[in-house]
Amino acid sequence: MLISKAMIAAMTGSLMLMLVVGNAQAKGDIERGADLTTDCIECHGMDGEGNFETPKISGLKQSYILKRLRGFNSGKTKSMDGMMHTYTEDLTDQDLQDLAAYWASRK
């Protein structure tokens, strides 16, 4: 079966569109992330600076925060008291992206 140039162009265009939409979605929404911080601030504080028991989360690289949140969410990364999995297990990946965007923006 021969594939026409038009068919290849259409498939390439579709792939490019999916990549652009996927990248836009992966950035996270800072405002939505702010709305999701209720559990975070219980331990890390309103400013995300942490304390003697919990680490600072504000101002870290977004990619680092997201990697850690995804690890806690999946259960692959453990926190000292196990609470991070409990706090993140019901969050969607978009929620995690939004939280990462928010905390990274807090400097």
Domain range 29-105, CATH class: mainly alpha
**What are the residue ranges spanned by the domains of the chain?**
29-105
pLDDT in tens, 22-54: 444 458 999 999 999 999 999 999 999 999 999
Instruction: Show Cβ contacts of residue 45 under 8 Å, excluding neighbours closer than 6 positions.
Output: 51, 54
Say if CB 37 and CB 102 are below 8 A apart: yes
8-32 exposure pattern, b = at least 16 Cβ within 10 A, e = fewer: eeeeeeeeeeeeeeeeeeeebbbee
Mean per-residue pLDDT for 42-69? 97
Say yes or no to pLDDT of 83 above 60.
Answer: yes
- Burial grade of 71 (CB within 10 A; 0-12, 13-18, 19 or more): middle
pTM above 0.85, yes or no: no
DSSP state, residue 60: S
